Structures are given as structure tokens and as C-alpha cells.
Amino acid sequence: MSMTHTIIQHHCSLDAETLRRQFAHDVLKGLSQSRKSISCKYIYDERGSELFCKIMGLPEYYLTDCEKNCLEACKGSIRETIGRGRSNLIELGAGDGIKTKILIRNLLEHDHDFQYCPVDISESAVVNLSQCLNREYPGLKIRGLVTDYFQGLTWLSQQNNAKKVVLFLGSNIGNFSPREAMDFLKHLRGSINRGDYLIIGFDLKKDIETMVRAYNDAQGITEQFITNILSRINRELGGEFNLDCFRYVSNWDDLSGAIKSYLVSTCNQKIHIRDLNSSFIFNEGEVVHAESSYKFTTDQCSVMAEVAGFDVVDNYFDDRNYFVDSLWIAV
């Protein structure tokens, strides 16, 4: 396999040990609160990324198919809007990048001069995606980056060789609280230049049953995915969680407009985590917040664009109006 056009950078000055220490620090903090929580970004190690790939193929998880539908519908206008100049296609939280191939293929077919930069916290995701694209499109210039969103933005602010087109797909924005989402978008806006673009996916509010089903699949893959966070603490921090003593619960929270996912302790237990030099008490029925997946209205999306310093160029919906990919320009 030719690797001539593929470069993989690691962590953007964050080495593996720093990342592990950050993981330890965040777990200690999250489990020491009266309302326990663990950041969902830690679900995505190699196994977590694999499980998420499975989720994207589940019949209940409508988001991925809807977004493919949106991107198929808009690839031409996105290409025309971006224009022919040299560009840098930077994808935050790229995962397996299958949806993005729709845009990449279209740009290549029209001889656009661009480089693709997948950024992901999972090394295996970046490596697999880069190899896969390299095989399929040998001429494509790829520069992968293994890091989290915030380091990714620092790196982004240093790339000034071409017009930036940032992709933030899959409704990844929905994992932030509304406040964090605004901070993130403002920070992102500050890392690109006026006239650069952002293509951002939002899962839209719809009937509650459809949304809840997407996070409670019949095969229990989502449960394995969320529970991976405990396995990862066991693997990497010497935790002693017994996975059978936690149960996955995910439901719609109307007040916040989000699906909220928790791990619920099924008994009174005390869990030691070696590398934290600490034990944590879980009462029967006590919940650990693991993930929020906010859902949006198109009006909310427009307000977010404006507050963050973008104009909405266009919105692209799927057939059922379940999902929107919104094209924003930095103003």
C-alpha cells in the first residue's frame, strides 16, 4: 500500500501519557461529585470507536442514514459554494468517515485541489480511515491528526495555507451542553478566517419514540458502547468495575431537549480504582451520567450560527426532515 500522500500526526503535542493522566484526572473529578458523571469522550478508544461504527449501521440509529441522505443531496452545491481554489477539508471527530466520502468523492471527481484532515481522539479511527481512503483514492492528500476537539482547534488556527472547510458532522455538537456548544462554536470561529466554511450536522427534534429507540437498540449495542467507559477505566486505570452491577438507561429529557444516557448501579457497591488511589461508593439505583445527545430545531441552529459569528448559507435536509446539515460561512 502506498503511504505517499498520508501523514499521521499524534496528539498535537499531547503525548499518550498526558492523555492518560487527563483521563485519570477527569474520572476522579467526575466520580467525586455528588451527581456522578464521566465525559462521553472517553468512550472512544479502539473498542468504543468500533462499537460506534456498529451503531451507525443499526436500523434504530436513523442519524447516519439521514445524514448520508442530506450530504448526497447537497454535495454539488457545497462544492460550488466552496469554489475551485485550494482548500483544506478538516473533519472534527471524523470516526470512520464514511459519510464524508460522499463529499470527498464529489470534490475529486471535479478535480478540486484539496487536502483532507481527519481529526479524531481515537488513533485507530484516524489510522483506519486514512488507510481506507488511501486505498480508494491514491491521489488524495491526507493529513490525519489524533487529538481531542480543543487541541484540534489550536492546530486548526495554525493552518493558514488554504481556505478552510471544517466538517463537524453526525450531530456531534449534541454531546455538548448548550453553553459548551456555544463556547465551542465561538472558539471554532476564532480558529478560522472570515470566508471559511463550516458544515455542521444537527439531529432535529422529532417524535420522542423515534429518538428514544435510536439509543435503546434491540441488540444492545448502544449499551455495550456506553458501558465501554467502565471497561476502559478497568483496562487503563486499574478499575474494578463489575459490568454486571450496572445497567444502561437512556431516556428523553424534555426540559433540556436531549436524550440522556446513564449507567445505574444495581446494588450498593464500593469500587476501587488503583491508579486514582481511590474507592467510590455507588448506592443501589444511583446514576452515573455518561452522555447527553441534544436535539435541535432549525431556529435554534440559526441562532447558534449568528451568536458564534457565522451566516447560514443553506440548510440541507433529508427526506423526512429528521436531520439537517447546515453550511455556514464565517463572517
Residue 112 to residue 117: CA distance in whole angstroms: 15
Specify the residue, 196 or 291, whose C-beta has the smaller distance to ligand AVJ: 291
Give the count of residues interacting with ligand AVJ (CB under 6 A).
12
> E strands along the chain, which residues?
6-10, 87-92, 114-120, 141-146, 163-168, 197-203, 246-253, 258-265, 269-273, 278-282, 287-294, 310-317, 323-330
Q: How far apart are CA 170 and CA 158, in angstroms?
A: 25
> Residue 56 CB, nearest distance to ligand AVJ (Å)?
8
Residue with Cβ nearer ligand AVJ (149 or 328): 149
Q: Are 37 and 28 in contact (CB under 8 A)?
A: no
Strand, coil or helix: 38: coil
Interface mask toward ligand AVJ for 57-96; x: CB under 6 A:
------x---------------------------------
d(CA 275, CA 273): 6
Binding of ligand AVJ by 222 (CB under 6 A): yes
**Does 224 engage in binding with ligand AVJ (CB under 6 A)?**
no
**Under the criterion CB under 6 A, does residue 175 sit at the interface with ligand AVJ?**
yes
Give the bridge partners for 281, in sequence order.
270
Closest distance to ligand AVJ from the beta carbon of 210 (Å): 13
The answer to whether 55 contacts ligand AVJ (rule: CB under 6 A) is: yes
171 binds ligand AVJ (CB under 6 A): yes
User: At CA 249, angle to CA 291 and CA 215, rounded to 5?
Assistant: 65
Can residue 228 be called a binding residue for ligand AVJ (CB under 6 A)? no
Residues of this chain that interact with ligand AVJ (CB under 6 A) are 55, 63, 170-172, 174-175, 215, 222, 225, 291, 293
